[in-house]
Amino acid sequence: MKMLTLKLTPKRIFGIVLLLVGIIVISVTFVSNHTSEAQSVSAVISAKTDSERRAYLSKYGYKLASDCEQKEITIPKKWNDVYNSYNQIQKNQGFDLTDYKGQKATLYTYTVTNYKGKGDCIVADMLVCEGKLIGGDICNPSAKDGFLVGFEENE
């Protein structure tokens, strides 16, 4: 019967430990860099002032009437299918309302005067929390021609 023995000196033990630590550090760094979520759009869009909100909408080509309605709302803690669908629209444009459940926000509503041929009652809704844009939509709230979409280029 043969026995295999390995003579471990302190230098070899140190080398093996150093190699294992290096592999662990590289693995953790790789995994953490590839699993972190992208920063949400709302973290970088300031919407504190009327001019900031108008500038954001104008980059999509929207022209707005001078009036703006403002309303304080609370985003519900429990969502039904309608809110889940609305949040999916928000996610598609880089926002996510999930972290704002139960929080107060301000809803700013602007009348869009040049929407691409879909009626006269088109509005842009912008949800703002603590000065940051957290979501919004373009919609026609009329029952006859109603629709709701995320912010998109107005061609």
Full DSSP string of 115-134: -SSS-S--EEEEEEETTEEE
Q: Spell out the alpha helix ranges (H) of the chain.
A: 10-35, 50-58, 81-92
State both tokens at 4: 């295999």
Query: Average pLDDT for residues 123-151, to the nearest whole number?
Result: 89
How is the chain split into domains, by residue range? Answer: 9-38, 41-149
Q: Are 92 and 150 in contact (CB under 8 A)?
A: yes
What's the pTM? 0.70
Consecutive H or E run containing 108: strand 104-112
Q: Is the pLDDT of residue 118 over 70?
A: no
Query: Is the model's pLDDT at 12 over the cut of 80?
Result: no
Per-residue pLDDT, averaged over 68-78, amounts to 95
- Residues 93-111 have a mean pLDDT of 95
Res 38: pLDDT = 42
Would you call 98 helix, strand, or coil by DSSP? helix
Position 24 scores a pLDDT of 81
**Distance in angstroms (rounded) separating the CA atoms of residues 10 and 128:** 61
pLDDT reported for residue 46: 92
- pLDDT computed for residue 29 by the predictor: 74
Closest CA to 87 of 100, 96, 79, 76: 96
Query: 22 versus 106: which is more confidently predicted?
Result: 106
- Position 41 scores a pLDDT of 53
Over residues 24-61, the pLDDT tens digits come to: 877 777 776 654 444 445 457 999 999 999 999 999 99
Contact call for residues 42 and 136 (beta carbons, < 8 A): no
What does pLDDT average to over the chain? 84
